Chains A and B, each alone.
Chain A
Amino acid sequence: MLEIKNLHASVAGVEILRGVDLVVNAGEIHAIMGPNGSGKSTLCYVIAGRDGYEVTSGEILYKGQDLTELEPEERAAEGVFLAFQYPVEIPGVPNTTFLKEALNAIRRHRGESELDAMECVKLVREKTKEFGIPDDMLKRPVNVGFSGGEKKRNEILQMAVLNPALAVLDETDSGLDIDALKIVADGVNALQSPECATLVITHYQRLLDHIVPDFVHVLANGRIRRSGGKELALELEENGYADFGEAAE
């Protein structure tokens, strides 16, 4: 599904990723953990294609094609989804309108027919019901006045509606209390299937109690320093990231 080879990336001329290698297969959940400033968010943005995040060498292959050639919207249409650490507020645009535009843009890209307003509302309502999201969140402008938990739930709703093949969750647990964390984790688990893969980026182990990874990787100083099974997360919880200190290079 996703194959990252010796990826180097810079932001404003500063190299942040210094040779990341990672392979994620369909049906797998991978967790990437690491200290602050290790390059976790940069990796997310590079995968999603944000301007200003420049790949200087290496490859990102998604379903065998070079992802870096595609615009962010094309990546989304191909099935890549990034759940943001800090979802953006868009005043004046109701959530339903946003979801409909996003869904239909992706459907157009795939050569599928667009859904009309009714069909779209029906689909979205199914998802809100499934994930226990209150209907009034749909009528409100995108993320405006949402609590931290509501914003993250809104990310999961978008993910459920757009139904990606590769979901990347950037510190989705940050700022969440335990109840909100559980709702978000339930959403991610419900969307996991043999056809899709999930990459969970997190600083803390606690999210991984709810989203159980098949593999855990430690990102420090711009590289994957260690990989293992879910027990690696527990070990990190115990010992912290001291072994992967920024001075290690």
Chain B
Amino acid sequence: MPKQPTAVDSFPQQFAEVKFDLPGSGLAWLDDRREAGIETFNALGLPTPRLEAWKYTRLQSLEDTQFRSARADDANAVVDLIPAVLPADPERPRLVFVNGFLRRDLSMTGGLPDGATVECLTETLERDTGWVETHMGGAIENDEHALLALNTAMMSSGVVIHIRPDVIVSKPIEILFMTGLTDVPVAYHPRNLIVMDEGSQATLVKHYVGAGVGAYLTNTVTEISVGPGAVLHHYRVQEEDLGATHLKSEHVRIGRDGTYDSFALAIGGRLSRTETFARLEGEGSHCQLNGAYMMRGREHCDNTTVIEHMVPNTTCREVFKGVLNDEARAVFQGRIVVHKDAQHTDGYQLSKALLLSDRAEMDAKPELEIYADDVKCSHGATTGQIDEASLFYLRSRGIPQALARNLLIQSFLGEALDEISSTEVRKAMMDKIVHWLPAHCFLADEWRDG
């Protein structure tokens, strides 16, 4: 019997078919990078559990599903309602991508100050190829990474954000990636470039959302460069469909006195993995990687982070909290590396999971690698169930069991949400959590608004 082609075989084949239609085709530097990318992918293959970093997450579903590369006409799906995280505001830029392509009719670009660019990667490639050539790959330390290499070969769009020196963008920039409503499972590979020049500030909200039912694959790479004294608040909501495979890696470098502050809420997706590689490269820099996840059914959510302290006097803070129901599974792998010169590093890491079912599973792997001798680093990881004493306390006050459980789940996640500095975003995230909760939702307005 002939062997069925698998995803590993089909991606190089797809690349051969579409490479002349990909944006920037004909630019020698980009063609070279794409070819090198597909070669690396071919050489490495999809990651398997034999790799230590992939011990808990299997990409079997990719082997079993035939994906077609998303085409421009997949972007024409009828979108009745834009599932934005924040309310529409003409003063706030919002880009909407559908199946990987920018939908200008659904996007708004108003409200940006001079010196701030928010556009589609394809536009930047046409406008200023040199800039893309300079910055693309700049935040990536290690490109021996199969999914990253695949993204480099196949990237078709993505968002480019460039905030020039000392420019402050006060309103959050929102980027939506909607996927679904296609005839067969599609795959696409967005490449986002975010460059914060010295002294600039911005808040970015990214929303990955499923538009219907069915399988699809998003393989995103985001490169972020936070310049000296710059501040980026980076919020993400992953609300993918039950059949979705959501893979992404974020590569962050932070310069002197710069701050990278991220919060990721994951509330849906059959298989999701977010890898964050953050490097604190300038003294006085600060990195926050926080998140919350809520998984049900047979969903699988993996948060893998590597924070590297390269120089003295840098700080990091990492708080991940999650709730797992049914047979859901979550993985937290958090590595903090303090290099030899990175004296006076202050690092904090916490992973907490709440299991609502006996069949749910949590795998937590905190790792501290410390090569400097004068540092402060702590970590903790706990997995538990709803506290019986707390539940009884609430019920003894008349609060029915279902409501009491919801209240305790909200209480548990609320602690993680406290890490979000933007009130507007925090409220929006709390709304998402409330809507995820099991039936008989507890909805206390004054709490969410508080």
Do A and B form a real pair?
A: yes
Contact across chains for A50 and B392 when beta carbons are under 8 A apart:
yes
Asked whether, in the complex, the Cβ of A92 is within 8 Å of the Cβ of B411, the reply is: yes
Asked whether A73 and B415 contact (CB < 8 A) given A94-B450, A96-B446, A100-B444, the answer is no
Residue B271 at the A interface, CB < 8 A? no
Q: In the A-B complex, list the 9 residue pairs whose CB atoms are closest, starting with the nearest.
A: A92-B414, A76-B398, A102-B397, A106-B398, A72-B395, A88-B393, A92-B411, A105-B398, A73-B395
Taking a contact as CB atoms under 8 Å apart, the answer to whether A101 and B393 are in contact is no
Size band of the interface chain B makes with A: 20 to 34
Which of A82, A92, A97 is B446 in contact with, Cβ under 8 Å? A97
Kindly supply a per-residue 1/0 record for chain B positions 388-418, scoring 1 wherever the CB is within 8 Å of any chain A CB and 0 otherwise. 1110111111111101100110111011001
Asked, given contacts A101-B403, A101-B442, whether A93 binds B397 with beta carbons under 8 Å apart, the answer is no
- The 0/1 profile, CB within 8 Å of B marked 1, for residues 115-143 of chain A is 00100000000000000000000000100
* Chain A residue at smallest Cβ distance from B399: A105
Query: Which residues of A does B touch, CB under 8 Å?
Result: 48-52, 71-73, 75-77, 81-82, 84, 87-88, 90-94, 96-98, 100-103, 105-106, 109, 117, 141, 158, 162
Q: In this complex, which of B394, B404, B412 has the most chain A Cβ atoms within 10 angstroms of its Cβ? A: B394
B108 to chain A, nearest CB (A): 34
- Please tell me if the beta carbons of B393 and A76 are within 8 angstroms of each other in the complex: no
Say whether A90 contacts B390, CB under 8 Å.
Answer: yes
Asked if B105 lies at the interface with its beta carbon under 8 angstroms from chain A, I say no
User: Who on chain B is nearest to A48 by CB?
Assistant: B396
Of chain B, the residue at the smallest CB distance from A72 is B395
**Residue of B387, B389, B399, B415 with most chain A CB atoms under a 10 A cut-off:** B399
CB contacts (< 8 Å) of A72 on chain B: these are 392, 395-396
Q: Which residues of A contact B442 (CB under 8 A)?
A: 101
- In this complex, what residue of A is CB-closest to B397? A102
Give Cα A102 to B393, complex, Å: 11
Residues on A with C-beta less than 8 A from B412 are 92
Give the distance to chain B from A216, nearest Cβ to Cβ, in Å: 25
Contact B444 A92 (CB under 8 A): no
B128 contacts chain A at the CB level, 8 A cutoff: no
Shortest CB-to-CB span from A56 to chain B, Å, is 20
Give chain B interface residues in 427-446, CB to chain A under 8 Å: 442, 444-446
CB pair A73 B414 closer than 8 Å: no
Q: Which residues of B contact A73 (CB under 8 A)?
A: 395-401, 404
B131 on the A face (CB < 8 A) = no
Q: Nearest-CB distance from A145 to chain B (Å)?
A: 14
Contacts of A88 in B (CB 8 A): 387, 389-390, 393
8 contacts between A and B (CB under 8 A): A48-B396, A71-B401, A76-B397, A81-B396, A90-B407, A90-B411, A93-B410, A101-B442
Q: How far is the CA of A94 from the CA of B411 in the complex (A)?
A: 10
A82-B444 contact in complex given A88-B390, A92-B414, A93-B410, C-beta closer than 8 Å: no
A109–B399 Cα distance when bound, in Å, is 10
Supplied contacts A51-B388, A92-B415, 9 more A-B pairs, CB within 8 Å? A50-B392, A72-B392, A82-B396, A90-B393, A93-B407, A94-B450, A98-B394, A102-B394, A102-B398
Q: Which of B360-399 contact A (CB under 8 A)?
A: 387-390, 392-399
Cβ-defined partner of B410 (8 Å) among A75, A77, A92, A105? A92
A153 CB, min distance to chain B CBs, angstroms:
16
Which single residue of chain B is at the shortest CB-CB distance from A86?
A: B389
Contacts of A162 in B (CB 8 A): 397-398
A97 proximity list for chain B (CB < 8 A): 444, 446-447
Give A82's nearest chain B residue, CB to CB.
B396
A46 CB → nearest B CB, Å: 12
**Cβ contact within 8 Å between B447 and A93:** yes
In the bound complex, CA of A97 to CA of B442 (Å) = 11
Chain B residues near A77 (CB-CB < 8 A): 398
A73-B395, A117-B445 known; A93 vs B411 contact (CB < 8 Å): yes
CB closest chain-B residue, reference A100? B444
By the criterion CB–CB under 8 Å, are B411 and A91 in contact? yes
Q: Hey, which chain B residues are within 8 Å of A100, CB to CB?
A: 444, 446
Most B CB within 10 A of own CB, among A76, A101, A105, A106: A101
Q: Which residues of B contact A158 (CB under 8 A)?
A: 397
Across the interface, do A101 and B407 meet the contact criterion of CB distance under 8 Å?
Answer: yes
Q: Which residues of the partner chain B approach A51 to less than 8 Å between Cβ atoms?
A: 388, 392
- Give the residues in chain A near B450, CB-CB below 8 Å: 94
A102 and B397 CA atoms in complex are apart in Å by 6
With contacts A50-B392, A72-B392 taken as known, whether A117 is within 8 angstroms of B397 at the C-beta atoms is: no
Q: Which residue of B lies closest to A144 (CB)?
A: B411
Measured between C-beta atoms, what is the minimum distance from B442 to chain A in Å?
A: 7
The smallest C-beta distance from B412 to any residue of chain A, in angstroms, reads 8
Give bound CA distance, A52 to B391, whole Å.
13
In the assembled complex, the Cα of A109 lies from the Cα of B404 at a distance in Å of 15
Q: Give Cα distance in the complex from A186 to B256, angstroms.
A: 60
Does A101 contact B444, Cβ atoms closer than 8 Å?
A: yes
Considering only CB atoms, which chain B residue lies closest to A120 in the complex?
Answer: B446
A residues in contact with B388, CB < 8 Å: 51-52
Which residues of chain B are within 8 angstroms of A103 by Cβ–Cβ distance?
398
Chain B residues within 8 Å of A84, by CB: 393, 396
The residue among A72, A94, A109 with the most chain B CB atoms within 10 A of its own CB is A72
Once A92-B410, A94-B450 are accepted as A-B contacts, the answer to whether A105 and B396 lie under 8 Å apart by CB is: no
* Closest B residue, CB atoms, query A88: B393
A108 to B404 CA separation, bound complex (whole angstroms): 15
Q: How far is the CA of A103 from the CA of B397 in the complex (A)?
A: 8
Residues of A within 8 A of B401 (CB): 71, 73
Tell me the complex Cα distance, A93–B405, Å.
13
- Closest Cβ–Cβ distance, residue B398 to chain A (whole Å): 4
